[in-house]
Structure 1
Amino acid sequence: MIRVLLADDEDLIREALVGLLDREPDIEVVATAADGRQAVERALATRPDVAVVDLQMPGLDGIGVIAELGRHLPGCAGVILTGHGRPHLLRQALSSGARGFLAKGAPGSALADVVRRVHEGKRYVDPMLAADALTAPPSPLTPREAQVLAAAGADRPVGEVARTLFLSPGTVRNYLTAATAKLGAGSRAEAHQLARENGWL
């Protein structure tokens, strides 16, 4: 039997996934969790072969869970479920040690197949998510524009950003104006959000 921990903060999704996996003769769900910290605690208590975790959870996200399990339970293979296939999330998931990356909209039978695959030591990345990652546009920002936008955030005062980065306030404003224009944003806050969502910061 492949022993599985399943973590998702949405009760209906978690219960539906447990129901799907429980129908498989070679898979047993040994623990469930509603947040990231609980997932780590229950994994340490039950020592599953595979941990299937939602990407976005309170307390500790799926990437953080997989990274922690990699340190404390290296024999546990991690699979991340997500509704967001952004390229930087895929890169972060794989660099955290995840062996599988599956879209929540995948067919029901796909999860069991992925669990078996990662248990055998193989990797699996949802083809649609992989295609999105490969075709994603590169960042339009220069490294300095990205640095200034990251430091400025949505509303940090320009003077404070300037002191932090050892730049003049005018230079900071110029970089922020350029970054906002390149991203086609209506404001600095919108530019910051767009850049974060695309993994350019």
Structure 2
Amino acid sequence: MISVLIAEDMHMVRGALVALLNLEHDIKVVAQVASGDEILPAVRQWQPAVAVLDIDLPGKDGLTAAAEIHDAGLPCRTLILTNLGRPGTVRRALDARVNGFMLKDAPPDKLANAVRQIAVGRRVIDSELALAAWESADCPLTNREIEILRLTSQGQGVSDIATRLFLSPGTVRNYLTTAVTKLNARNRMDAIRIAQEAGWM
């Protein structure tokens, strides 16, 4: 039996994923969470074989959580589900060492098959998406700059971000200025738009 953790913040979608996978004779959903901050503790507690992670979650995003699972040396493999098939997003997934990357509009039977493939150590990434990722431009931003842009896009102010990341407000402003400069953006909001459209955050 392949044990699975589902991380999805939309209740209806999460319920549908759980129901879909529990219909399979060899797959059992053992845990479900609604935010990125819950993923690593749940993986430690339930020890699933595969974690199916939405890329856009409150708190930590799915790619950050996937990287944490890998860096912690846990045996859980990761499958990212997303609406975003942009090359930059796929590259970020590959950099986070995820085991699979699927679009949410894929046929339902593909999800169960992907979980099975990943559970036995294979990688499941759409070939066209992978090729596009290799051909796309590298992201000029550092992980910290991306993180601060993402938090800014969620409406958090400089002081809130500084407190959350244990940085000074001045340091946060410097990161934002650097990101704006690297992306040749007009301002912070333009930098967020450029990074989102490229799939870098």
TM-score of the two chains, using structure 1 as the length reference = 0.72
The percent identity for this pair of structures is 35
Deviations 1:63-117 (A, max 9, x none): 1111111133531110000001121211111111200000010000111011011
In 2, the alpha carbon distance for the partners of 1:58 and 1:199 equals 18
What count of residue pairs does the alignment treat as equivalent? 171
Deviation at 1:189?
5.1
In 1, the alpha carbon distance for the partners of 2:134 and 2:107 equals 22
Deviation at 1:49?
0.4
Q: What are the ranges of 5 or more consecutive residues in structure 2 without an aligned counterpart?
A: 153-169
Deviation at 1:179?
3.6
Residue 125 (1) aligns with residue 125 (2) = yes
Change (3 A) 1:52 1:73: farther
Deviations 1:136-173 (A, max 9, x none): 5x48xxx7xx89xx8xx89xxxxx9xxx69xxxxxx9x
Spell out structure 1 runs of 4+ moving beyond 3 A: 127-136, 187-191
Q: What are the ranges of 5 or more consecutive residues in structure 1 without an aligned counterpart?
A: 155-159, 166-171, 181-186
Change (3 A) 1:105 1:70: same
Deviation at 1:193?
3.2
Q: CA RMSD, aligned part only?
A: 3.3
Change (3 A) 1:70 1:189: closer
SS of the equivalent of 1:97 reads coil
In 2, the alpha carbon distance for the partners of 1:61 and 1:188 equals 24
In 1, the alpha carbon distance for the partners of 2:62 and 2:43 equals 13
SS of the equivalent of 1:25 reads coil
Amino acid of the residue matched to residue 71 of structure 1?
D
**Which deviates the most, 65-74 or 14-23?**
65-74
Q: Which residue in 1 is equivalent to 2:54?
A: 54
Please tell me whether the aligned partners of residues 47 and 73 of structure 1 are also in contact (alpha carbons under 8 angstroms): no
TM-score of the two chains, using structure 2 as the length reference = 0.72
Structure (1 or 2) with the larger CA radius of gyration: 1
In 2, the alpha carbon distance for the partners of 1:100 and 1:42 equals 20
